[in-house]
C-alpha cells in the first residue's frame, strides 16, 4: 500500500523565493496534517484539514504561510516569501478521523 | 498550552542494557502515543495507551500510561542497535484530532 507521499524530498532556495511543498495522503483518509520539525522547537503542528476543510490553522507561524487542500488526494503548503528561519523538515500526515496518523518522509527545506 | 517534556533528551547505552524513557506533563490527556523516527523518515506509531494505569507490551518494549493520564514511560529490555532512533510521545485530547508532541529522546544503542 502506498503511504503518504511528499514532494520534493529536498528543496534549497534563496530567501524571498516562493516555496511550494506537496502532499498526497493515503487513499481513503479524511484528515490531513502539516507539521514542521526543527532541532530547537521539535515537531509542531501547523495546520490540519478534515474532509478538505481547514479545521485548525493556529500553528501557522505567519501570513507568509498558506495551505490548501483542493481535493481529497492533494494538499500544498506554500511559503511566500521564504526566509532563512523557515529552514526545517516539513512533514505531512494523514489519518482516518481520530485514527492513528501516518507520516510521509518529509521535505527538507533549506532557505539560503 | 499543553507541554510534554521527555527525559532524557539524549541517551547512549550499550547493546543488551535496559533503559527507560519518560514523558511528563502537567496536563491530562485522553490518550498518549509513542512514535519512533529514524533519520530521513517520518515518525512511525508504536503504540497508543488510553486508560490510566494501562500497560502495553510490544516485544521488548513496555509502555505505561500514568494513573492520572499526565505521564507515560517507555521501557526497553535488552536494547539492540535496531532500537536506535528518536522516540517521541504525543498526547491527544478528548474529541480532538490534534497531537501535541513531546520534546523527544534521541536513543543510540552501541553494538
CB contact under 8 A, B97 and A91: no
For the CA atoms of chain A, what is the radius of gyration?
Answer: 13
CA dist., res. A92 & res. A95, Å (int): 11
Place of cell 507490551: B57
Asked if pLDDT for residue B1 goes beyond 70, the answer is: no
CA dist., res. A92 & res. A33, Å (int): 6
Top residue of A26, A41, A42 to mutate, by most chain B CBs within 10 Å, is A42
| Coil vs helix vs strand at A85 | helix
Residue B9 pLDDT: 95
- On whether the CB atoms of residues A87 and A39 are closer than 8 A, the answer is no
| Interfacial residues of B (vs A; Cβ cutoff 8 Å) | 33, 40-45, 48, 88, 95, 97-104
CA dist., res. B55 & res. B70, Å (int): 14
Asked if A74 has any chain B CB less than 8 Å from its own CB, the reply is no
| Furthest C-alpha separation in chain B | 43
Residue B96 pLDDT: 79
Residues of B in contact with A93 (CB under 8 A): 42
Nearest to A10 by CA among A89, A68, A86, A78: A89
CA dist., res. B32 & res. B101, Å (int): 10
* pLDDT tens digit sequence for B19-78: 999 999 999 999 999 999 999 999 999 999 999 999 999 999 999 999 999 999 999 999
CB contact under 8 A, B33 and A100: yes
- On whether the CB atoms of residues A21 and A11 are closer than 8 A, the answer is yes
Residues of A in contact with B41 (CB under 8 A): 105-106
Beta bridge partners of A12: A110
CB contact under 8 A, B42 and A44: no
Top residue of B4, B5, B42, B106 to mutate, by most chain A CBs within 10 Å, is B42
Position with higher pLDDT, A103 vs B97: A103
Cis, peptide link before residue B101, omega less than 30° from 0: no
CB contact under 8 A, A101 and B99: yes
- With residues binned 3-state (H G I as helix, E B as strand, rest as coil), the percentages for chain A, rounded to 5, are 5, 55, 40
Residue B49 grid cell:
495507551
- On whether the CB atoms of residues A67 and A47 are closer than 8 A, the answer is yes
Residues of B in contact with A104 (CB under 8 A): 42
Residues A70-91 have a mean pLDDT of 97
| Coil vs helix vs strand at A64 | coil
DSSP letter string over A93-104?
EEESTTS--EE-
Amino acid at each position: 500500500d502506498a503511504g503518504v507521499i511528499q514532494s520534493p524530498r529536498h528543496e534549497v532556495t534563496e530567501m524571498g523565493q516562493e516555496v511550494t511543498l506537496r502532499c498526497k495522503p493515503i487513499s481513503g483518509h479524511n484528515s490531513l496534517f502539516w507539521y514542521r520539525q526543527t532541532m530547537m522547537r521539535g515537531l509542531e503542528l501547523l495546520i490540519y484539514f478534515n474532509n478538505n476543510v481547514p479545521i485548525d490553522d493556529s500553528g501557522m507561524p505567519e501570513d507568509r504561510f498558506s495551505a490548501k487542500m483542493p481535493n481529497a488526494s492533494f494538499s500544498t503548503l506554500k511559503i511566500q516569501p521564504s526566509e532563512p528561519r523557515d529552514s526545517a523538515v516539513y512533514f505531512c500526515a494523514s489519518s482516518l478521523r481520530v485514527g492513528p496518523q501516518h507520516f510521509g518522509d518529509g521535505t527538507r527545506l533549506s532557505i539560503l | 498550552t499543553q507541554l510534554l517534556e521527555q527525559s532524557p533528551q539524549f541517551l547512549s547505552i550499550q547493546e543488551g542494557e535496559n533503559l527507560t524513557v519518560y514523558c511528563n506533563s502537567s496536563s491530562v490527556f485522553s490518550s498518549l502515543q509513542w512514535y519512533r523516527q529514524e533519520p530521513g523518515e517520518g515518525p512511525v506509531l508504536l503504540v497508543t495507551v488510553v486508560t490510566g494505569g494501562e500497560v502495553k507490551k510490544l516485544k521488548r518494549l513496555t509502555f505505561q500510561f500514568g494513573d492520572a493520564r499526565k505521564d507515560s514511560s517507555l521501557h526497553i529490555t535488552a536494547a539492540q542497535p535496531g532500537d536506535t532512533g528518536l522516540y517521541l510521545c504525543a498526547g491527544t485530547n478528548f474529541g480532538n484530532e490534534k497531537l501535541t508532541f513531546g520534546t523527544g529522546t534521541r536513543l543510540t544503542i552501541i553494538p
